[in-house]
Amino acid sequence: MSPLASYRQLINIAGPLYVLVAFLGRLPLAMSQLGTLLLVSTASGSYGLGGLSAGALAVANAVGAPLAGSLADRIGQRPVVLVQSLLGATGLIALVGVVDAGVSDLTVVAVAALTGLATPQVGPLARVRWRPLTEGRPHQRRLVDAAFSYEGAADEASFALGPALIGLAAVLVSPSGGLIAAAVLLAVFGSAFALDGSAALVARHDSTSPGHGPLVTRVFVVLAAAQLFVGVLFGATQTGATVLATEAGTPGVAGLVHATLGVGSAVAGIATAYLPARIGHERRALVAAFALVALSWPLLLVDSLLGATLVVLFLGCAVAPYMIAVFSLAERVVPLPRVGAAMTTLASATGIGYALGSSVAGRLADDHGSTAAFSVTVTTTVLAAVLMLTQQRRLHAAVQAAHPMDPVTLPRV
């Protein structure tokens, strides 16, 4: 089956309305991080506080997501995502209110954290639905791989469109207007995602379910670390772009600059479905990691918004292939009853990385400008490449152990 035919079949199976709802439902999370950074830094005049607030939202989301994912594995996605969507929307509106009221820095950070805790991870939970949606179909493995390629591209497209919407709202209205729009999207489309019929197809599992094994293994720790590095890249790059845009007198343009990262990534993500199946996901992650290193170092040379935009655009072409490989590896090696927790935990690692990247880069930028922020981006790509280079054998062995009869996982000669 060709990749194009796989994508067509996936849309026919799930329905175009579900695909649209699942995409729009993940936009608020992509909007909330940069929206918080812009709102707080503009109101307070401190990149450090803005980065801390955005980081608090990301960390709290990272802490809450695995708990929500585990709960969804046990009782189903529908009640979990519905409650989170409504609470998260309320939190975003509350965050705008406390910033406008001029409350203490501690209160702003606390409200941002509570908002992040309540916001659902729609993208990871959407990944969980594809295996039951394609159950019994011919070429299911190929369909699931294509679905993960699509989901990776959809995540990156959301992290392109989300910041762009925030930037546009900041220019046309105000930073607070962007977060209010995110709240409306979350209440409407997050709830629609929760109530979609595909949620009922995800089996509920408890500790006595067949195949219920441990989630945290050495291999899974490697995959979580890989996603942590991607999060640092996001946070540091976003902060560096914000500094450049603010110095140019147009802070709202930061969202548009960072959006180009998602544009390149989304295109590359769709294209990964065209890679031959014989190329294992661990090998794809390795190649993508070295591409991240090669494409990130020019950030140390840029001193303008145009230069940063061009570099970030090409850097994005390596991001989605890397993330798709990591999530696909997790889907293959984690026990079926723990897939929901696994997907949300990897997303959480990304959130923690974002918080770390934005916080460290924000503090460095306060003293040394955008180049210092971008140096965090470059350093983390090197760490990602080292991780993947040293863990190839472990990752391949784990996939082979989980799927011993799959020709793709047979030992290489």
Tokens 């209440």 — which residue?
187
Q: How far is the C-alpha of 386 from the C-alpha of 393, rounded, in Å?
A: 13
Q: pLDDT-based confidence at 411, cuts 50/70/90? A: very low
Give the burial class of 195: count Cβ atoms within 10 A of its Cβ; 0-12 exposed, 13-18 middle, 19 or more buried.
middle
Tokens 């981006």 — which residue?
377
What pLDDT is stored for residue 110 in this prediction?
94
Residue 324: C-alpha distances to residues 92, 161, 285, 295, 345 (Å): 29, 19, 8, 18, 15
3-state secondary structure 116-150: HHHCCCHHHHHHHHHHHHCCCCCCHHHHHHHHHHH
What pLDDT is stored for residue 213 in this prediction?
59
Nearest to 65 by CA among 119, 21, 27: 119
Helix, strand, or coil (residue 178): helix
Q: Over 70: is that where the pLDDT of 91 sits? A: yes
The amino acid present at 32, given as its one-letter code, is: S
User: Could you state, in order of their start, the residue ranges of all structural domains in the chain?
Assistant: 3-203+211-405
Q: pLDDT-based confidence at 410, cuts 50/70/90? A: very low
**Are 84 and 199 contacting, i.e. CB atoms less than 8 angstroms apart?**
no
H helical segments located in 119-252: 122-133, 140-172, 175-185, 191-195, 218-247
- The single-letter DSSP state of residue 203 is P
Convert the pLDDT of each residue in 124-164 to its tens digit.
Answer: 899 889 888 888 788 777 888 888 888 888 887 887 788 77
Question: 3-203+211-405 has which fold?
Answer: Growth Hormone; Chain: A; (1.20.1250)
Query: In whole numbers, what is the pLDDT of the chain averaged over residues?
Result: 84
Q: How many CB atoms lie within 10 A of CB 301?
A: 10
The mean pLDDT value for 226-248 works out to: 87
The mean pLDDT value for 13-31 works out to: 92
What pLDDT is stored for residue 229 in this prediction?
95
Q: Over 60: is that where the pLDDT of 369 sits? A: yes
**CA atoms in the 13 A half-sphere facing the CB of 304:** 3
Q: pLDDT-based confidence at 178, cuts 50/70/90? A: confident
Convert the pLDDT of each residue in 371-383 to its tens digit.
Answer: 898 999 999 999 9
What pLDDT is stored for residue 161 in this prediction?
81
Q: How far is the C-alpha of 126 from the C-alpha of 128, rounded, in Å?
A: 5
Q: Over 90: is that where the pLDDT of 191 sits? A: yes
**Are 347 and 26 contacting, i.e. CB atoms less than 8 angstroms apart?**
no
Q: Over 60: is that where the pLDDT of 13 sits? A: yes
Q: Indicate the length of the chain as a whole number.
A: 413
